[in-house]
Amino acid sequence: MNILTSYFGSNLPPGNAGNQLWALIYVFIIFAGVAVAVLCMNWIERKALAHFQIRLGPMRVGPHGLLQPFADALKLMLKEDIIPAEADATVFWVAPVIGLLAAFTVYIVIPFGPSQAVTDMNIGILFMLGVSSLGVLGIVTAGWASNSHYPLIGALRSSAQMVSYEVAMGMAIISAIMMTSMNAGGIGTLSMIGIVQAQQQQGIWFIFKFFPLGFIAFAIFAIAMVAETNRAPFDLPEAESELTAGFHTEYSGLRWSLFMLGEYAAMIAVSSIAVTLWLGGWMRPFPNLLNGPAWEFIFSLFPALTFGGLALITFIGTARMPSQSFFRIQRMGLGIFAVLLGFIALLLLLIAVVGHSNDASIAARFREGIDYVYWFIFKVAIFMYLFIWYRATWPRYRFDQLMSVGWKVMLPISLGVLILTAIVGVLIK
């Protein structure tokens, strides 16, 4: 019992507090959370993309296609898992696992809150970069193991792309890390939590720091991360019209879904890096400008309001369902979902109110934690929406254009930003 409650008294992530049980619980929560997030993302992407493209998207499986991701997952699991005869079976088998592991391992250091992370590593951002760069191995081996031309070209493209954009990405990250040393102590940090705390101490999100330097670095990262995750408009490795499906052309069934899972997990991971480094991580908007208990309370209502809004939308959706008896079960399901969302909203509201009235209560700690996680996820969700938006809006770059953008535009700019940041930092100090 002591070990169960011990975590609540600690201000450190469980990994750092030496609390292995809670670290394990966090790992499970994060894994499950990311898996659910990928499912949600799947549905939202299809729906949002559909509405961009004046169509409805999935509508059949469950009300408004809400169960579509589950149906897809089930289908992919039941689908025959083909290994081409000439493929290298072992490597073919290992490749998606490498990609998935790399994508999921980075979540260890992602700080959802000052103590809401598995662990806080001293080398956090370096670890994230390193592990996410392992994802390229999965792609290269997948392309090679398929023993086919299209996957091979896709894999080579993909790895070349990821390696070249990693450089610009790293430069942008370094300029943000240099900003962490602009506090009183004058010592920077690589720790993810430390980076957010540095922003807290300096009272500014790094995107606004040394304006426009922080913003440029952020923009470079935001572009490079799209390339890094092979999403449109940099989705050449999977360019359907050119290479059928790129490195996973020969994959099917569960293994293919592992690639998809890895891709989406990587998207969330890089968005988390962007949020942590430039957008203040778990901090709510304007923590310095609009402070005081009243503002604190207002901002702590946001999670409840979000869920309340979702519940409202779902209720409206339920009311607008066609009234034929055919839709009765769907209506009931949607209604239950709406009630569930409303219930969560009420619970969050309760926690917010109780936590506000009594600062010492356990509800106050819960409220804090919920706030942190909510704002973090909120910011990440914006990026996820941007990913969908890009995909709906832009055509695809050509390979040489992609490379020239990476090496001739992004790299010089990021180097310039890095140098300027250093100069400005030294001058201000």
Partner 1 sequence: MNPLLMNPAVNAGSAPVATPFFFYFLAGAAVVSGLFVITRRNAVHSALALIVTLLSVAGLYLMLYAPFVAGVQIIAYAGGIMVLFLFVIMLVDIERVSKERQYNRVWPVGLLAACALLALFVSAIVKGRSLLPDRMVQLPESSNTQQIAAALYGEAGRVGQYTFAFEIASLLLLVAILGAVIMTKKKI
Partner 2 sequence: MNDEKTLDPKMIASKPLDPKTIAERVPGTAGSSLTRPNAASSNLDLDAPDKPYLDSNELIINMGPQHPATHGVLRVILKLDGEKVLGTECVIGYLHRGIEKIAENRTYTMFNPYVDRMDYCAAVSNGLGYCEAVEKLMNVEAPPRAQYIRVILTELQRIASHQLWLGTHALDIGAMTPLFYTFRDREEILKIFEKYCGARLTTHAFRIGGCQYEIYPGFEKDVKNFLTFVAPKIDEYETLLTTNRIWLERTKNVGVISGKDAIALGVTGPVLRASGVKWDIRKAVPYANYSKFDFEIPVGSNGDTYDRYLVRMAEMRQSLRIVEQAINGIPEGPIMAKVPKVIKPPVGEIYHSIEAPKGELGFFIVSDGSTQPYRLRVRPPSFVNLQALDLMVRGALVADVVAVIGTFDIVLGEVDR
CB of 81 or CB of 242, closer to partner 2: 242
Contact 125, 17 (CB under 8 A): no
Q: Which two tokens stand for residue 86?
A: 């000439």
Interface positions, 94-153, toward partner 1 (CB under 8 A) = 94, 101, 105, 108, 118-123, 126-127, 129-131, 133-134, 136-137, 140-141, 144-145, 152
236 binds, among partner 1, partner 2, none (CB under 5 to 8 A by kind): partner 2
Q: Quick one: residue 186, left, alpha or beta (phi over 0 = left, psi -120 to 50 = alpha)?
A: left
Residue 250 is given by DSSP the state T
Please select the residue that binds partner 1; options are 7, 17, 228, 243, rule is CB under 8 A.
Answer: 17
CB of 263 to partner 2, least distance (A): 17
DSSP string, 82-128: ---TTS-HHHHHHHHHHHHHHHHHGGGG--SSSS-SS---TTHHHHH
CB of 346 to partner 1, least distance (A): 34
Interface positions, 60-99, toward partner 1 (CB under 8 A) = 88, 90-91, 94
CB of 261 to partner 1, least distance (A): 18
How far apart are alpha carbons 330 and 317 in whole angstroms? 11
Residue 398 is given by DSSP the state P
CB of 56 or CB of 422, closer to partner 1: 422
233 counts as binding partner 2 under rule CB under 8 A: yes
153 counts as binding partner 2 under rule CB under 8 A: yes
Q: Interface mask (CB under 8 A) for partner 1, residues 230-269, using x and -?
A: ----------------------------------------
Residue 42 is given by DSSP the state H
255 counts as binding partner 2 under rule CB under 8 A: no
CB of 94 or CB of 420, closer to partner 1: 94
> Contacts from 176-183 at CB under 8 Å and sequence distance 24+?
176/206, 176/214, 176/217, 176/218, 176/221, 176/277, 176/278, 177/125, 177/277, 178/418, 178/421, 178/422, 178/425, 179/206, 179/209, 179/210, 179/214, 179/421, 179/425, 181/425, 182/209, 182/425, 182/428, 182/429
Q: Quick one: residue 65, left, alpha or beta (phi over 0 = left, psi -120 to 50 = alpha)?
A: left
How far apart are alpha carbons 27 and 24 in whole angstroms? 5
Q: Interface mask (CB under 8 A) for partner 2, residues 399-418, using x and -?
A: xxx-----------------
Size of the site for partner 1 (CB under 8 A): 43
Q: Which two tokens stand for residue 106?
A: 């980075």
Q: Which two tokens stand for residue 302?
A: 């946001």
Interacting residue ranges for partner 1, rule: CB under 8 A: 12, 15-18, 20, 23-24, 27, 88, 90-91, 94, 101, 105, 108, 118-123, 126-127, 129-131, 133-134, 136-137, 140-141, 144-145, 152, 155-156, 159, 163, 187, 189-190
Where along the sequence are the contacts to partner 2 (CB under 8 A)?
49, 52-55, 149-150, 153, 157, 232-233, 235-236, 239-244, 391-401
